[in-house]
Amino acid sequence: MLTKKQLFTQGMLDISPHMLSVIPFGIICGAIGVELGFHPYLVYAMSFIIFGGASQIVFLQVLSGGASSLVAVASVGIINSRHLLYGAVLSEYLEKLSFIKKLLISYLVVDQGFAESNKFFKKNRTEEFLHYHLIGTGCTMWVCWQIATLSGIVLGSFVPEELGLKFAIPLTFIAIVVQDLKKLDHLIVMITCGLSSLLFFDAPFKSYIIISPIIALFVAALLLRLKK
């Protein structure tokens, strides 16, 4: 049985490689906000209040493009609706927690943290304090995100744009799913999602980000039926 501290540290270790892409992306996010003409305090407030990478950039771009704040808020809600799926997966492991603890831990659920903690949970179902792993991944992400966006806000885009570091984001997610490519069912689900996301890319409010997972999960359900 691992202690709370060991699980927390394991969570930190498991997510830390992703900081290679998260930190440059955070700097870019902060810098873009100021470049688009928003007050630095507002740009930073988003990292604290929304705490969600791409949705923060979209929010600012939509507003600076002249759309109403209602459209900006709706876009953020739709982009982040994928967390509903993460929560449904994580709920199995967090069931025993008190309601208050569930409310607090929810704030820390992010893409990479969900991915790494979910992998760990699957292998270590019997651990008593599993949620400390999620707190470890979430806190690491939170601290790095705050520092990265703040430095982008204060120092401007000191990461040269020519490096195209935004490309590190798809790479970080490739690293997350690449081992599942050898499973045919997962491969089919991934290709379905990827192609749907390109097909529906122009759908309003960036809704491709939730439309394509729903289509892919339908395909997954069909595959499960075929397997039987």
Partner 1 sequence: MTLTAIIFAGILTYLTRMTMIALISRDMLGDKIKAVLEYVPSAVFPAIIFPGIFINDFGTFIDMNDPKIFGALVAVIVGYFSKNIIATISAGLISYWFLIFVVFN
**Nearer of residues 7 and 72 to partner 1, judged by Cβ:** 72
Decide whether 7 or 78 has the Cβ nearer to partner 1.
Answer: 78
Q: Using the minimum distance from each CB to partner 1, give the nearer residue, 3 or 221.
A: 221
Cα dist. 28→58, 112, 158, 163 in Å? Answer: 13, 18, 9, 12
Q: How far is the CB of 185 from partner 1 (least distance, A)?
A: 8
- Buried b / exposed e over 78-111, threshold 16 CB at 10 Å, is bbbebbeebeeebeebbeeeeeeebeebeebbbb
Q: Cβ neighbours of residue 48 under 8 Å, at least 6 residues apart?
A: 146
CB of 109 to partner 1, least distance (A): 5
Supply the minimum distance, in Å, between the C-beta of residue 81 and partner 1. Answer: 5
Nearer to partner 1, 128 or 180 (CB): 180
Rounded to a whole number of angstroms, the minimum distance from the CB of residue 201 to partner 1 is 6
Measured CA to CA, the distance from residue 116 to residue 135 in angstroms comes to 12
